[in-house]
């Protein structure tokens, strides 16, 4: 698992993809930050973090699109599967590699609250912590969806699109639920990552939300191992 994680992280940084994604997200965030937070003289980050969730909907599928597709296309999947590791090890190793790149993106945003404080803004620390925690959790869940999407095909672009569509539906689930109403709304509510996000982001540190996100991640990673395992039975 560690070997796979290490290789995948290296692979991200051997290729331009990690740099492009990190700088792109940093650029977009900085624009939001400069013209929103700083210009508006807000001494808080939560609004900004909330806004960029939508950007993650695009960025995460691009981050994860090649994580499993590449192995199938190049035939390196054979090497991984015939090594003395479990399929779960492969999936988790790959997932953690994507998460690592995400964390680099994420760590860069720490510079913003520091600037606010340096400029003399008074920040509410619990709010800030809650906001960042929520952001991390939702990022983890999105990456799990992205990894799952990349297990479904051997084409990177198709994987990115599938990931994007799933995340888009998840983003829009609240309006959809309130439109359909009734029992179906409750079912759909189970998949609503955003409503829980808003709770956490407004400083309500609810342990059930944290467990919810972790379970959501685990379920998608489990599904990914099932997809890979299932395919082993049907291929030549």
Partner 1 sequence: MIEIQNLTKHYGEIKAVEDVNFTVEKGEILGFLGPNGAGKTTTMNIITGYIPSTSGTVKVSGYDIMDQPREVKRRIGYMPEHPPLYMDMTVKDYLDFSASLKEVDKKTWKSQKNDIMELVKITHVQHRLIRNLSKGYRQRVGLAQALVGAPEVLILDEPTVGLDPKQIIEIRKLIKALGKTHTIILSSHILPEVSAVCERVVIINKGKIVAVDTPEQLSKNLGDYSKFTMTIAGPDKKVKEMLQQIYGVKEIEVQNRIRENEFSYIIEADKDIDVRKPIFHKLAEFGYPILELKSLSMSLEDIFLQLTTEEKEVN
List of residues contacting partner 1 (CB under 8 A): 2-4, 6-7, 10-11, 14-15, 74-85, 232-236
65 φ/ψ angles, rounded to the nearest 5 degrees: -60, -30
Q: How far is the CB of 195 from partner 1 (least distance, A)?
A: 40
On the CB side of 41, how many CA atoms lie within 13 Å of its CA?
Answer: 1
**At residue 138, what are phi and psi to the nearest 5 degrees?**
-70, -35
Minimum CB distance to partner 1, residue 101 (Å): 15
| CB of 89 or CB of 174, closer to partner 1 | 89
Residues sharing a CB contact under 8 Å with residue 120, sequence separation 6 or more, in sequence order: none
- In angstroms, what is the minimal distance from the CB of 142 to partner 1? 25
CB of residue 37 to partner 1, shortest distance in Å: 38
Nearer to partner 1, 12 or 220 (CB): 12
Nearest to 149 by CA among 160, 138, 133: 160
Closest approach of Cβ 81 to partner 1, in Å?
Answer: 5
In angstroms, what is the minimal distance from the CB of 88 to partner 1?
13
Query: For residues 16 and 126, which CB has a smaller minimum distance to partner 1 in the complex?
Result: 16
CB 99 within 8 A of CB 5: no
For partner 1, the closer of residues 82 and 208 by Cβ is 82
Quick one: 183 or 233, whose CB is closer to partner 1? 233
Alpha carbons 27 and 33: distance in angstroms, whole number: 10
Q: Give the nearest distance from C-beta 86 to partner 1 in angstroms.
A: 8
Query: Which of residues 85 and 172 has its CB atom nearest to partner 1 in the complex?
Result: 85
Residue nearer to partner 1 on the CB measure, 7 or 161: 7
Q: Residue 100 has which token pair? A: 């690592």
């Amino acid at each position: 698992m560690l070997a796979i994680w290490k290789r995948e992280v290296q692979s991200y940084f051997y290729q331009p993809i990690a740099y492009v994604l990190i700088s792109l997200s940093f650029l977009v965030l900085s624009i939001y930050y400069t013209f929103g937070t700083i210009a508006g003289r807000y001494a808080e980050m939560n609004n900004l973090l909330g806004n960029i969730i939508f950007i993650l909907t695009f960025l995460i599928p691009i981050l994860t699109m090649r994580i499993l597709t590449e192995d199938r296309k190049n035939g390196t999947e054979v090497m991984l599967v015939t090594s003395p590791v479990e399929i779960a090890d492969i999936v988790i190793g790959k997932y953690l590699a994507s998460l690592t790149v995400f964390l680099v993106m994420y760590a860069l945003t720490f510079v913003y609250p520091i600037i606010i404080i340096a400029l003399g803004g008074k920040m509410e620390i619990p709010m800030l912590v809650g906001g960042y925690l929520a952001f991390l959790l939702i990022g983890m869940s999105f990456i799990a969806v992205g990894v799952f999407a990349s297990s479904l095909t051997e084409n990177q672009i198709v994987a990115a699109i599938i990931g994007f569509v799933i995340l888009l539906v998840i983003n829009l689930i609240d309006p959809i639920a309130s439109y359909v109403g009734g029992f179906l709304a409750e079912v759909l509510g189970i998949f609503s990552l955003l409503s829980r996000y808003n709770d956490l982001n407004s400083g309500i540190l609810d342990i059930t939300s944290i467990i919810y996100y972790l379970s959501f991640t685990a379920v998608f990673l489990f599904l990914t191992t099932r997809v890979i395992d299932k395919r082993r039975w049907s291929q030549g």
